[in-house]
């Protein structure tokens, strides 16, 4: 297994920290990828889960003197670590009241790193409670999302954090102007006015916050077709995919094709046309699903 991560600055600061800290070896490359651009900038970085305090010293060294680094923990004793020059708040990361009071005192932040309790409740409620107070071009990074697969954290569950992240992928795709063309992606509790992108790593999910970029998807032309018609694509263009083997091969597809040729007049009767189309559509779906099933096992 590669140990290239040991050459990274963040790993060096982790090892040099005078207070204890525990991190997965896979995280250092991810940290560098996500956080490198924020170094030596005036940002506010918040980590949930202080424990021994070593990671806060690591972050202070990594981000530089311009950054404000804040720790949050549920355990009151961690407040004593402030003697090492750390800034620590005590509170419940699942509490909406705690977060309201926190942001009233601290103001908006740029990065939230959740290394707290790891339960579905902790991770989902934290994301929802902080998202409105994260600046544009900011990040919400949830660690230890492998907890979504462990009994210790009350999983597997329909309401695990990873399943919620998949819910938010659908939500992201709901940011589209022509809403009639998509199904089952529009969410009542949507976050797609704030989340511009989602990135998945091994046991980390990162949410990129940028409201300015959260615009509805809309297809646009570089010039009007009416003014300058295409030389290649004509008005009666039929997508080539309908001629590919998966859609036309097989007994039933060939049968429908021959019947449509023999009884071409039936195509003029709308309700028969719809029935034939629905039957053909269902057969195609069954064939496609059979072919794709192995990729989901």
Radius of gyration of the chain (CA): 26
Residue 214 CA to residue 136 CA, distance in Å, equals 11
Decide: 90 and 74 in contact? Cβ < 8 Å. yes
- Residues of the chain with pLDDT > 90, as a percent, come to 65
Nearest alpha carbon to residue 291 among 255, 244, 257, 243 = 244
Superfamily assignment of 4-213 in CATH?
Vaccinia Virus protein VP39 (3.40.50.150)
Decide: 116 and 74 in contact? Cβ < 8 Å. yes
Q: Is the pLDDT of residue 126 over 80?
A: yes
pLDDT tens-digit profile of 204-213?
A: 999 999 999 9
pLDDT band for position 183 (cuts 50, 70, 90): confident
For residue 229, give both structure tokens: 């018609």
C-alpha triplet 275, 276, 282: angle, nearest 5°: 90
What are the residue ranges spanned by the domains of the chain? Answer: 4-213, 240-296
Rounded to the nearest integer, the mean pLDDT of the chain is 87
* Residue keyed to tokens 């994301």: 127
Report which DSSP code applies to 225: T
- The per-residue b/e assignment along 41-60, b for 16 or more CB within 10 angstroms, e otherwise, is eebbbbbbbbbebbbbbbbb
C-alpha torsion sign, points 221, 225, 229, 232: positive
For residue 94, give both structure tokens: 């699942």
Q: Return all residues near 95 (Cβ < 8 A) that are at least 6 apart.
A: 129
Give 138's strand partners: 209
Largest CA distance in the chain: 88
pLDDT band for position 272 (cuts 50, 70, 90): low
pLDDT given for residue 274 in this prediction? 72
pLDDT tens-digit profile of 9-27?
A: 999 999 999 999 999 999 9
Q: Return all residues near 7 (Cβ < 8 A) that are at least 6 apart.
A: none
- Tell me the Ramachandran region of residue 33: left when phi exceeds 0, alpha when psi lies from -120 to 50, beta otherwise: alpha
Decide: 47 and 24 in contact? Cβ < 8 Å. no
Across 199-203, average pLDDT: 97
Nearest alpha carbon to residue 110 among 136, 88, 128 = 136
DSSP for 149-186 reads G-GGGT-S-TT-HHHHHHHHHHHHHT-BS-GGG--S--
pLDDT given for residue 184 in this prediction? 75
pLDDT tens-digit profile of 232-266?
A: 776 666 666 666 666 666 655 566 556 655 555 55
The pTM is what? 0.84
Alpha helix segments (H runs only) across 41-160:
54-63, 96-106, 120-130
Across 266-270, average pLDDT: 56
Decide: 190 and 171 in contact? Cβ < 8 Å. yes
Residue 281 CA to residue 59 CA, distance in Å, equals 55
CB atoms within 10 A of CB 174: 17
């Amino acid at each position: 297994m590669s140990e290239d991560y040991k050459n990274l600055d963040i790993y060096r600061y982790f090892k040099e920290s005078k207070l204890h800290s525990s991190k997965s070896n896979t995280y250092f490359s991810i940290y560098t990828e996500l956080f490198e651009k924020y170094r030596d900038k005036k940002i506010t970085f918040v980590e949930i889960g202080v424990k021994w305090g070593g990671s806060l010293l690591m972050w202070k060294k990594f981000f530089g003197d311009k950054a404000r680094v804040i720790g949050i923990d549920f355990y009151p004793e961690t407040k004593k670590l402030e003697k090492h020059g750390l800034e620590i708040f005590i509170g419940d990361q699942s509490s909406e009241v705690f977060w309201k009071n926190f942001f009233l005192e601290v103001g908006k932040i740029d990065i939230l790193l959740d290394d707290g309790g790891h339960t579905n409740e902790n991770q989902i409620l934290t994301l929802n409670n902080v998202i409105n107070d994260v600046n544009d071009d900011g990040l919400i990074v949830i660690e230890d999302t492998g907890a979504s697969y462990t009994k210790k954290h009350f999983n597997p569950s329909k309401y695990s954090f990873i399943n919620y992240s998949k819910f938010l992928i659908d939500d992201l795709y709901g940011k589209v102007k022509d809403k009639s063309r998509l199904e089952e992606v529009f969410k009542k509790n949507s976050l797609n006015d704030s989340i511009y992108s989602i990135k998945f790593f091994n046991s980390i999910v990162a949410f990129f916050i940028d409201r300015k970029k959260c615009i509805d998807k809309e297809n646009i032309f570089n010039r009007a077709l009416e003014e300058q018609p295409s030389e290649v694509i004509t008005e009666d263009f039929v997508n080539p995919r309908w001629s590919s083997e998966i859609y036309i091969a097989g007994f039933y597809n060939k049968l429908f094709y021959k019947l449509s040729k023999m009884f071409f007049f039936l195509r003029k009767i709308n309700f028969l046309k719809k029935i034939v189309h629905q039957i053909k559509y269902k057969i195609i779906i069954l064939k496609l699903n059979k072919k794709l099933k192995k990729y989901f096992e």
